[in-house]
Amino acid sequence: MRTFWTWCLVLLAMGQAHAACTRVLRTAWSDWPPYSMADAQGKPVGLDVELLQRVAQEAGCALQFTGDIPAKRQLVLMQSGEQDIQLAASITPEREAFAWFSPDYRHETVALLVRPESVKQLHIKDLQQLADDDMAVVAPFNGWYGPAYAELLPKLEKLGRLRLFKNTAQGLELLNTRRGDVLVGDLYSFLYVARQLGMPVPQSLSLAVNDDVVHFMFSKKSVPLQDVNTMNEALRRLKRNGELKKIIDRYDVAK
């Protein structure tokens, strides 16, 4: 009899650990290889997509990918509750007002990238030097890459030396056609896309713009805290058993 009740408790604990979410969780992706992109059939693929899918599977939760939506627009949808989860988010006080966050699930390295022939000529000690030394900077339309970067952007814009891009390929084109001297962006994304497109592979300078972890972000307006906890517990299990690391290692972007 004791064995019977022991098994009942084990099964109950397993059921609770894999409890399903209360509703289908809506998310989106943006064109950001190798983290998120569309395959030949238009389906979302990539490292962040695969990691979220595996976490949802572990949690027993269903996902709905709503489309390829720019990250800046996704933030608006998260605030209104029209989107439930956003990939690869950094924690900021502004976002904490409308979102919950998962534990971190991978590192992100945002680098200063230059054309190969320029790497020995440029010696950048801090981000302020980009404004002081009359350099044109190619940068993404949006993204949180630390307070020093946030302080730099309006200075460059005022000086007329900020060149914005919407996707990785466009950023590479701006750099390679000499529209900018330095490119700010995710190190592994630019290396990946340059090789995929057969473009010159940019070189990274020693100074990193930001080196931090990223999280899944949940809309407080549309996702019950119960569902957030269910997803977060699943993520923690997959980190402990090494499954997340195995997925990350396949993409060769881990630190």
What is the percent of the chain where pLDDT is above 70?
A: 92
Question: Are 145 and 99 in a shared domain?
Answer: no
More confident residue, 253 or 163: 163
Q: Do 221 and 99 lie in a common domain? A: yes
Same domain? For 134 and 8 the reply is no
pLDDT tens per residue, range 44-90: 999 999 999 999 999 999 999 999 999 999 999 999 999 999 999 99
Inform me whether the pLDDT recorded for 114 exceeds 80.
yes
Residues 165 and 90 in one domain: no
In 10 A of CB 200, how many CB atoms?
13
**What pLDDT, on the 0 to 100 scale, is given for residue 12?**
42
pTM of this structure: 0.87
In the predicted model, what is the mean pLDDT of the chain? Answer: 91
Q: How many domains is the chain partitioned into structurally?
A: 2
The 3-class secondary structure across the chain, one letter per residue, is CHHHHHHHHHHHHHHHHCCCCCCCEEEEECCECCCEEECCCCCEECHHHHHHHHHHHHHCCCEEEEEECCHHHHHHHHHHCCCCEEEEECCCHHHHCCEEECCCCEEEEEEEEECHHHCCCCCCCCCHHHHHCCCCEEEECCCCCCHHHHHHHHHHHHHCCEEEECCHHHHHHHHHCCCCCEEEEEHHHHHHHHHHHCCCCCEEEEEEEEEEEEEEEEECCCCCHHHHHHHHHHHHHHHHCCHHHHHHHHHCCCC
Pair 26, 96 in one domain: yes
Of 8-12, 76-80, 249-253, the least confident: 8-12
pLDDT the model gives residue 20? 83
101 shares a domain with 7:
yes
Selected residue with higher pLDDT from 123 and 173: 173
Domain CATH number, residue 122: 3.40.190.10
Whether 4 shows a pLDDT value over 60: the answer reads: no
The tens digit of pLDDT for each residue in 168-183 reads: 999 999 999 999 999 9
- 68 and 154 together in one domain: no
Q: Are residues 34 and 91 in the same domain?
A: yes
Q: Are 61 and 218 in contact (CB under 8 A)?
A: no
231 and 205 within one domain: no
Verify that 31 and 119 share a domain, yes or no.
no
- What pLDDT does 142 receive? 86
State residue 86's pLDDT score: 98
pLDDT at 19 (0 to 100): 52
27 shares its domain with 91: yes
Domain that holds residue 58: 2-106+213-251
The verdict on 98 and 119 lying in the same domain is no
- Residue 13, pLDDT above cutoff 60: no
